[in-house]
Amino acid sequence: MLSLLHPSSRARGARAGRAALALSVAGLLGLSACSSPESSSPSESSAAPSGDALTITDVLGREVSFEHQPERIILGESRSLFATSALDREHPLDKVVGMGTDLQDNVPDYYSKLVEAVPSVKDIPEIGSFQKGDVALENLINLDADVLVLSQDQYDAAKTTGTTDKLDSLGLRYIVTDFRAHPLENTTRSMEIFGKLFDKEEAAQDFNQDWSRVVDMVRERGAKATSKPRTFVWRAAGLSDCCGTWNNSNISELVNVAGGENVGDSVLDGESVTLTPEKVIDLDPDVIIATGGDWATKKDKDGNPATFASAGYGISMADAEKSLQHLPSVQPAFDLLRAPKEGNLYAIWHQFYNSPFNYLALLQIAQWLHPEDYTDVDVAKEWKDAHEKYAPFSGEGAFFVSTPRGAEK
């Protein structure tokens, strides 16, 4: 495995380490490489463990050991900047030497705000996407990183393609986090991991305290709820064939804890699936929560501008509400469903599904489902306060969208 050297030793060993790893990856890719001392991965014994040695357990239970505090870190998902920003809002790129392309490709509203606040983000080398299979191992080696942070989705994709085996053979450390599959189980664990990797453990503890304060409150109140509104989470509504959703995972997990009944649980075997419009009509949920984004450039399956729930940074609430009102027109007869007719059609920012700010989505969902239990809660203030503490810019935009009063069918 790669040795984590003190700064003085690291500068001397980096060039030799990169050369050795380059030869190793050539062999893994079926290229000719002579057998020599330089062709093996760097030795763990090249530097004695220091007082800064640490071992981190990731969300899969894997123990990853370091001889020294990591100094150069690759973010497999650039959306991990949500987490690094929460740890250090003024320096979210500290120690980041490479990152994926998902934030740039899929979250233009956030990325444009980040470029304004931290222009140097444009200079961070991009590594591609593990899910798309376009990450070159040579590029990872050339970045001379101490560790690669993978989301659980990326790990699963890399394991399927054999990439994790190659990383292991090359001695490239990787550690797995998760904000998406099981947010209520893994968010604080993932923030602890980021805190240890970036030497920001106190900041991670502060964030986790705020996160737990809200989540514990919602858990307690949700458990006491006397009714559980049947709720359909409509994933990326309007962008693809109707109708994507989740079972008890991701945002649907938030619904269940908030005191709702996620209708996907009774019809899904896997984590996510696409229901037919007829099935949604048959279920006729009490509440529909669509996920939306800044997707003006997206097309529908026929190549036409997509009809979707507009949400995100820089989106006006008026535009967001207008898009939500039009959303039932995506599918025939959806305007006859109970939820839009009774004003219980809502939208949230899609990126809550992969962000440590998921606790704010949980709070808003709980207030929608049980407004009488949350008269003492100001979600807008919680959102504003979170940005002042945990984001590199302010939070103007539309992230929690309700059907305007008087717009019920």
Averaged pLDDT for residues 39-57:
56
What's the CA gap between 12 and 147, in Å, rounded? 19
Q: Which stretches of 95-224 are assigned E, i.e. beta strand?
A: 96-99, 147-151, 174-177
Return all residues near 136 (Cβ < 8 A) that are at least 6 apart.
127, 128
What is the three-class DSSP state of 389?
Answer: helix
Q: Which residues pair with 299 in a beta bridge?
A: 305
Tell which residue, 240, 403, 401, has the closest CA to residue 306.
240
- Could you tell me the sign of the dihedral formed by the alpha carbons of 348, 351, 357, 359, in that order? positive
Distance CA 121, CA 123 (A): 5
pTM of the predicted model as reported, rounded to 2 decimal places? 0.88
Q: Determine the 3-state secondary structure of 104 from DSSP.
A: helix
In this prediction, residue 18 has a pLDDT band, given cuts at 50, 70 and 90, of very low
* Edge-to-edge strand ranges of the sheet holding 147-151: 96-99, 73-75, 147-151, 174-177
Choose between 326 and 270: higher pLDDT.
326
- Model confidence pLDDT, tens digit, residues 228-273: 999 999 999 988 778 999 999 999 999 999 999 999 998 877 788 8
CATH class of 221-402: alpha beta
DSSP code of residue 310: B
Contact between 339 and 408 (Cβ < 8 Å):
no
CA–CA gap between residue 111 and residue 104 (Å, rounded): 6
Q: DSSP alpha helices (H): ranges in 29-149?
A: 81-87, 102-106, 108-117, 137-142
Give the percent of the chain with pLDDT over 90.
78
Q: What pLDDT digit, counting tens, does each position of 329-379 carry? A: 989 999 999 999 999 999 999 999 999 999 999 999 999 999 999 999 999
**Radius of gyration, CA atoms only, the chain:** 23
| Domain assignments of the chain as residue spans, ordered by start | 46-199, 221-402
Pick the CATH number of 46-199 from 3.40.50.720, 2.60.40.3880, 3.40.50.1980, 3.90.1150.10: 3.40.50.1980
CA–CA separation, 23 vs 40, rounded Å?
8
Burial category of 72 from C-beta neighbours within 10 Å (exposed 0-12, middle 13-18, buried 19 and up): middle
- Encode pLDDT of 113-136 as tens digits: 999 999 999 999 999 999 998 999
Same topology between domain 46-199 and domain 221-402: yes
Q: What is the pLDDT of residues 156-207, one digit of tens each?
A: 999 999 999 999 999 999 999 999 999 999 999 999 999 999 999 999 999 9
Q: How many CB atoms lie within 10 A of CB 37?
A: 7
